[in-house]
């Protein structure tokens, strides 16, 4: 696999995650605004608004994290690594990418087990199976895993 093919796959994952976030954030804002207006002005709160916005928030947070991983936008890590010499910084970044991969595999595995348990549970307000909201955790972690993997590949390629 060439670096150009790797970048195409990485860009595809970025495209999906960013488009989801671009759509879901205004949706969440609209739903919450609608819920507030209905509750405080019309005294008739929609039963589904809080639940749907919460589920969108989970999905958006995890998919948005993959965008941050792709761009290496972790402030605490950058603050620490920028103080190191370049050679040590590159080694530490590779180690952190490997640890991230292990962590995300763990979250994907146990997140999927958790999501599958949600297949038997129905959401009280919307009536959907909780599998779908819970699936945001392993899916977002999968996107983070892919971005971390491609960052690791890039680090080895750019040596």
Q: What is the 3-state secondary structure (H, E, C) of 31-60?
A: HHHHHHHHHHCCCCCCCCHHHHHHHHHHHH
Q: What is the reported pTM?
A: 0.86
Please, which pLDDT band fits residue 17 given cuts at 50, 70 and 90? very high
Is residue 105's pLDDT more than 80?
yes
pLDDT confidence band for 121 (50 / 70 / 90): very high
Containing structural domain, residue 10: 3-157
Please count the structural domains in the chain.
1
Report the percent of the chain where pLDDT is more than 70: 96
Q: Is residue 123 within 8 Å of 129, Cβ to Cβ?
A: yes
- Map residue 124 onto helix, strand or coil: coil
């Amino acid at each position: 696999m060439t670096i150009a093919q790797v970048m195409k796959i990485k860009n595809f994952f970025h495209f999906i995650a960013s488009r989801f976030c671009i759509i879901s954030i205004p949706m969440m804002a609209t739903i919450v605004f609608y819920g507030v207006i209905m509750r405080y002005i019309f005294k008739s709160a929609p039963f589904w608004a809080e639940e749907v916005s919460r589920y969108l928030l989970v999905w958006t947070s995890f998919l948005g994290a993959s965008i941050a991983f792709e761009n290496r936008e972790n402030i605490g890590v950058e603050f620490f690594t920028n103080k190191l010499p370049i050679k040590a910084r590159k080694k530490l970044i590779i180690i952190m990418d490997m640890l991230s991969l292990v962590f995300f595999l763990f979250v994907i595995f146990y997140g999927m087990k958790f999501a599958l348990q949600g297949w038997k549970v129905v959401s009280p307000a919307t009536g959907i199976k909780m599998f779908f909201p819970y699936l945001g955790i392993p899916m977002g972690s999968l996107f983070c895993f892919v971005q971390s993997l491609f960052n690791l590949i890039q680090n080895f390629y750019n040596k």
